[in-house]
Amino acid sequence: MHRNKELHSFLLSKARNLTEEWYNSLDKNDPSGVYASDDPNVINALKKQNFEFHLHLCEAFIKEEKAFLEDFQKWIRSIAQDPQHLNTPIQFMLREFFRVREQYLDYIKDFVSLHTGEFPNEVIDSWNRLILKAFDKVMLRFVEEHQYCLQQKLSAQQELIQELSSPVISLNNEIALLPLVGDIDSRRAKLMLENTLNQCANLGVNFLVIDLSGVPMIDTMVAQQIFQLIKGLRLMGVTATLSGVRAEIAQTAVQLGLEFNGVSTYSTLRQALDSYAIIKR
């Protein structure tokens, strides 16, 4: 353990050197990502992150593995969540982990050469194995955190897209339009129901035209969701009507036995809007 502490102190004293050597040898011609940036703020942040990495990594020689990884976790999570790193291809980041690992193996050689004959080969081998294992553990945790953050980001983007794909557009103080475009799956249908009811309540509309012109197919699930939406709107005092009911949609509805009883349907948006004008007279 005493030998490990000596190596720990040596590596800790070289942390700044490790960072500067790493950054100076960095391939700055990457097409994208944090390593390609020439922004001084990004560069300073990158160096700071790398330096903090060394402060943690050196502790592999003086801490039990569990404590070492627990203390490292905050750094791992912060890098995985960092916007600059999230916009960097994962293969570029793994490449840098590998390069830094080689730095450590070289510095262990330097340490051994400064103490020629003091350490048996099995001790030197154990240090090299410890570095390899530490990097493996840290890299694995980083990839897991990075993947999780990317998935969260993707889910948030998908929800935003889903929300934007079913916007309620106010035409005047009383009338609004819900233009539906593309396929409607169960997830989108659920969001459509929630968002439309909320948006109609916020807009205070009395009449909503649900336009199906951009929906390629109507099946039982889609029809049920539309009926649920219309029912929810009716409870709020909003009258809903369907437009854009093309011949193929009508034919599919008949084949599936879908009935639009109690719902006004029109082949065009103009007809639906004109019907409201007639009602108001």
Question: Token digits for 28?
Answer: 């700055």
Superfamily of domain 2-163: Globins (1.10.490.10)
Q: What is the pLDDT along the chain (281 residues), one digit of tens a residue?
A: 668 999 999 999 999 999 999 999 998 777 778 998 889 999 999 999 999 999 999 999 999 999 999 999 999 999 999 999 988 999 999 999 999 999 999 999 999 999 988 999 999 999 999 999 999 999 999 999 999 988 888 777 666 655 555 688 888 888 899 888 777 777 777 778 888 888 888 888 889 999 988 887 777 777 778 888 888 999 999 999 989 888 777 777 777 776 666 778 888 888 888 876 655 54
Query: Range(s) for CATH 3.30.750.24 in the chain?
Result: 169-280
Single-letter residue type at 51: F
The pLDDT tens digits for 154-175 are: 777 666 655 555 688 888 888 8
How far is the C-alpha of 136 from the C-alpha of 104, rounded, in Å?
13
CATH topology of domain 169-280: Transcription Regulator spoIIAA (3.30.750)
- Listed in order, the ranges of the chain carrying CATH 1.10.490.10 are 2-163
Other Cβ atoms less than 10 A from the Cβ of 174: the count is: 15
Q: In angstroms, how far is the first alpha carbon of the chain from the final one?
A: 92
pTM over 0.75? The answer is no
Separation of alpha carbons 29 and 27, rounded Å: 6
Residue whose tokens read 């060394």: 54
Per the CB < 8 A criterion, the answer to whether 100 and 92 are in contact is: no
Strand partners, 240: 208
Question: Within 13 A of 271's CA, how many CA atoms are on the CB side?
Answer: 12
